[in-house]
Each structure stands twice: as structure tokens, then as C-alpha cells.
Structure 1
């Protein structure tokens, strides 16, 4: 999910000493749970770990999962609370846990700060907003045996939503933001989790990657790059000034009806968004050029949403440029919904009046996406797009 602060910055602006031995990087097995139930209480799977403790070229850590809506989760510990299923979100920078789950450790510190975390794109079609009331603490936060000792995080406080469609608690157990490196890029004013690992010398490099397969499997890489997962070399784009995961690149599309290119678009690579959301005028042009039927609807969770209906057996090629390479949405990920009768809804939508593209996990599938904040983002095609073992 993109934070409201990050959206505002993009719209208006369109290491450290090591205290202990660090690992080169770890590679984390992920799994996308493809259940049909998108309810907040959908069942989650426990993570498994596949890595050796000694330092090596890479090691391995827990799963991410999906509740049927495209959101991926990892298994974390916060304080003495274990097996927490927290959303992995590249377009926000804070750690937050739902009410009643936090068990303090001996390292816990009450920071006596309250406020509201705000997020967009909380639903599978890119609609939806969250307003999360919180209280802050500092405690240990761990992922796959990697521990940040003094991590600032938010414990969610139960509150009444400002309207029935506003989310006030997270799906599953909470969220971990992997965007940004500075306290000024967070809503809590604390160091982001990955940067905290770097500052404490837990990982060798302030870098992470996501490798999402097309059949529900994936991997997360922390502290480096796993070159065994992708073909060729990574193509890189610089991160835009003032952004956390925003780059500039072309949108390129083609099918039997037509083709086109939208040049120099702002692209926010957001693993916490399930689909792809673009500016209404650009999305309408893309649909028109491709012969995709445009359908505009009012939605209780956002002022308006533009959908595209196409023949399920003929998905278009739609790609986003990273560096000099264009990476297409995989055909298997192009469908947001099957309406029956060979009529499908495209994963691309336009929500409200976004001035840029939010490129979510449906595009991530089949790719290795490498985040080297605050400098650049890279991408490459997976050697094995299903990531089946």
C-alpha cells in the first residue's frame, strides 16, 4: 500500500557503524495463498525457513502469502510476539501491528506517541483507504533470524472508522514497510526496518529484492542480490528525487487491435498494491488503443474507478520500462476478475485522479525486482517464472 504521505510527495514533486558480524544476504521462500476469501480473517500459512546459520553467499528465510487479493505477507516477531503475518509493502516505511498482538520483551520501550497512519490502494482493484490509529513502542523486530534491536513500530488502537469503507486495522496481523531509508520518509519518525538492520550491522548491504512467481511461489532477498534467480543482468532506473520507490519509465502496450507508448511516466513499484493503477486519461487511452472496453463505476471505497473488459483468451501485452528494458505483465496475471463468457476485467484500473502509475504485484510476477534505496531500482526476468522447485 502506498502511504498518503508518499502519494502527496509524488503528486507535488512529480552506512553506519557495525556492531556485529553481518550476512551477505538471505533469500526468503514466499508463497501466494490463492484462496477466494479476501476477508481480513482469511487463513494464513506459517512460514518456513531454509537457510544455514553460518555466513554464506546467501541464506534463506520465511514465506509471504496472499489472502486471495494479491497482498503478500511474511512471518515476523515483534518483542515476544512470534509468527506474526505482516504485509510486505515497498511503498511505505513503517512497522505496525494490530491490536492485542504485541507482547513486550525486556527491550520494550513505550515512546508515548499517538497518531494516525494513512494508506491508499487497500483493495484488490486499487480502491480503498486506511486510517490507522496507533501508539508507538520500540522493541526487537525479527525476520528469518535477522533482528533489529531498537525498531520503532506502531501498535494499532481500535477506533471507529470515519466512514464504513475506511480500513482501521490491517489484514492479518499488520504491515512492514520496506520503502525509504530516513526517518523523514516514515509516518512514525523512526528508522525503516531494513535501514535499521543495516545501521545495526545485521546485513551487509542496504538492499532487498522480490522475486514473485506466476503460480503462487516467490522469494524475498535481504541484504544483497541473488543472481541465481534471474536471467542476464538487472536493468536499472534511478529513484526519483524525494521518492522512495518511484522511477520514471515508459508504458508500452500491444495486441491485435493496436499498440502505443506512454512516454516518461512516473512509476511507483508497490508490492503492497494488488493490481496496477494509472492516471484516468492514460488508462483510457491505453484501453482505447487496445480495443478494451472501458467501464467506469462509482465505488464506495473511492470516488470512481475505471475498469477494462477484454476477451480472457487474448490478454494484451502491457509493460513498464526499467532502464532500457520493458517488462510485461505476465498473461496469467493480467486478469483481475473473470466475468464469465470469455469476458475478463484487466488488472489495470484508474482510481480517483492519480497523477502517476502505481505498479503493483500483478506486474511483479515473473520478475526479480531489486531495490537499492535511495539510489536505484532494478528488474530482470526470472529464470523459472513459476519458481517451482
Structure 2
């Protein structure tokens, strides 16, 4: 089968699933006669708050084509068919590029199949999301057009696991939380952190906040003047990494990557903006989830082969800038596109993350 043209690219999950009626079996298709259910946690609307959705899908193995790449046997889910659950994905489905441990089907994910079968030169991909709501992704290497400085231009951090790393939370150039566990999740829209940490961040930045209660878990929302959003960013590598790591493939100095001003608001009414930051307590204590709003204006290199994640600001994207941070308030507890050598494939972004557009 050929992959559809409107898939949500998600570095926070690991399954390839299509909405009902879209899967067209090829002559190589094998019905596995089994189903799986997977629950996705994400931010709602433009990026504030948290919710979850459960998808039930039938499973097939089939030859899968993506541009010039062919995987002889890829497990594919078809959502919703013959099940009481009517949950579907926005667009035409989802392509998960995250840790295989997050696979609801237990199958080898698309990206990991590319690596295991030596279909790409390096086991890495780079996701570039521009501030004009377009982007691209390079499979199998670093995109030298988007990162002309090469590997040395990237700020590199060691992976805890795919795609988790430690970083510092920075407000106006000052460290607010050190060594926070960060998940880089392109399928989520906003930035979600522990309620206690987000509450302290809102208070320190002068933002108003409202706690919304729910049986599924409380959510803390924040509000700021649209004309003067707070300067919040994430320092990479974390101070703890810098003091404990001595590896040639890890950056020796920390750099703060701020959110773009255009990415700060989940919604707005006049000059009152709902912040894209929100508080929610995940099962993993101290976890922060950095969604698509963090990715905007940046190239994020996911290098599984080297066990590192690299970040660099995209040139000409009007970034707030990067810098160093000082001081400390407290410590923390605790889409798609270009196979190397082939033509590019673009991305569009919406309120639900990054989308594959062929």
C-alpha cells in the first residue's frame, strides 16, 4: 500500500493506523485477525488542557511504500471498523515514530523497520517545522540545506529513551526548574508540565491561572496579555547533563530554546490569550511534554543510532533567539518527509500537530 497523504506525524506514539475505509489491501496483504486498542493523551484545541482518546483497530501486514522507500512487511491498523468505538484520527490517520514500547499493537514501528532493514543510511530523522505552518522531515540523515552548519550546529542532548531527554525550564533568562524530564512529542499541540511546576511558572511570570477539575485529572490553564507573552524556554543540555556527561557527541554548553511569540497562544480574545502552557499530572512524576508549539521554528534531529537528540533554530524563521540562562528558583521532581536522496515531502501544521502532505 502507499501511505495516505494526510497523516498526523507523532513522535509520542509508535503505530501506523489509518481511519476506516482508507486501507486498500495489496496482493501481499495478510489479515492478522487481531485487534488492538491504544489510548492517546494529548492537548486539546489550540494547545491548552489535556484529554485522551482511545482507538480500536484491526491489524494487517502489508508491503508499504513511502516515496522511494519500500518496507516489505509493515503492520498497519485500520481504525474503527466493526467496533463499537467510533473514535478516529483527525485527517486520515497517524504515523507513530516514537519508542516501540508505546506500540499498542506490539509491532515494529515504521521508522524502526527502516533502520532494521538498512533502508536508510543512518538511523535518524530530522523534523523541521517552520513558523509559516509548513515543514519537512529528513529520513536517514541530517538535512544540510536546513542545517548548513552540519552536526556541529546542533545542540545535542543524550536520550533517556526515545524521545525523552533532560532539560532546564527557563523564564526570562533565569533557570526556574533544573533537570526536568522532557518528552519531545510532535503529535501533541501544546506544552504540558506538572501542575505544581506550571503553577510556579505562571506565578513567576505574572500570569493568571484557573484550575479545571475533571474525573480524568485536573488541568491548570494560564492567561497572559497577547501583546506581551512571557519568554519561556528550555535549556539543553540540562545542567545535570553538563556536570555528569563527558561525551564527544553531547554539547559541552547549554543553550536555551524559547518558544516563538507566534506559538505562545492556544486561543485569544482581544488582548487576552490562553497560554499554550498548561498543567497536568501524568503517571510519570515530573514529566513535561513538549508538543508542536516547541518544534516551531526549529529543526529537531532524532538520532537513534547515536542515542542523542539535536536542536537548532531554523535560519530566517524569526526566532526569539537562543541564549544562556543563569540562577535557579528550584529543582524539578523527579512531519513527514524527505528520505535521503529523494525528493522532498512537505508538512502542514494545525491545532493537532504536524501533518504529512505528499
TM-score class, shorter-chain normalisation, is 0.7 to 0.9
Residue 361 of structure 1 is matched in structure 2 by 292
Mapped to 2, the partners of 1:274 and 1:385 lie a distance apart of: 19
Residue 210 of structure 2 is matched in structure 1 by 295
Mapped to 1, the partners of 2:43 and 2:65 lie a distance apart of: 25
Residue 61 of structure 1 is matched in structure 2 by none
Residue 251 of structure 1 is matched in structure 2 by 169
Mark the runs of 5 or more structure 2 residues left unpaired by the alignment: 238-253, 320-358
SS at match of 1:189: coil
Mapped to 1, the partners of 2:65 and 2:4 lie a distance apart of: 10
Mapped to 2, the partners of 1:118 and 1:291 lie a distance apart of: 35
Q: 1:136 aligns with which of 59, 62, 65?
A: 59
Indicate yes or no: 2:106 matched with 1:174: no
SS at match of 1:337: strand
TM-score norm. by structure 1 comes to 0.71
TM-score norm. by structure 2 comes to 0.77
Residue 272 of structure 2 is matched in structure 1 by 343
| Superposition CA RMSD, Å | 2.1
CA contact (8 A) 1:93 1:176 kept: yes
Return the offset for 1:303: 3.0
Mapped to 1, the partners of 2:118 and 2:259 lie a distance apart of: 36
Return the offset for 1:252: 0.5
Q: Which has the higher contact order (CA 8 A, sep 6+)?
A: 2
Return the offset for 1:261: 1.7
Runs of 4+ aligned residues of structure 1 deviating over 6 Å after TM superposition are none
Mapped to 2, the partners of 1:253 and 1:244 lie a distance apart of: 26
CA contact (8 A) 1:109 1:137 kept: yes
Residue 312 of structure 2 is matched in structure 1 by 380
CA contact (8 A) 1:371 1:377 kept: yes
Indicate yes or no: 2:322 matched with 1:322: no
Q: 1:108 aligns with which of 20, 29, 49?
A: 29
Return the offset for 1:97: 0.9
1:250-308 deviation line (CA, Å, top 9, x unaligned):
010128xxx542100000000000010000000000010111111122368x4322111
CA contact (8 A) 2:186 2:291 kept: yes
1:329-385 deviation line (CA, Å, top 9, x unaligned):
011111111122x11111100124563100001010111100012611110111121
SS at match of 1:196: helix
Q: 1:239 aligns with which of 147, 159, 163?
A: 159
User: Number of residues paired by the alignment?
Assistant: 294
Return the offset for 1:126: 4.4
SS at match of 2:167: strand
Residue 50 of structure 2 is matched in structure 1 by 127
Mapped to 2, the partners of 1:228 and 1:115 lie a distance apart of: 40
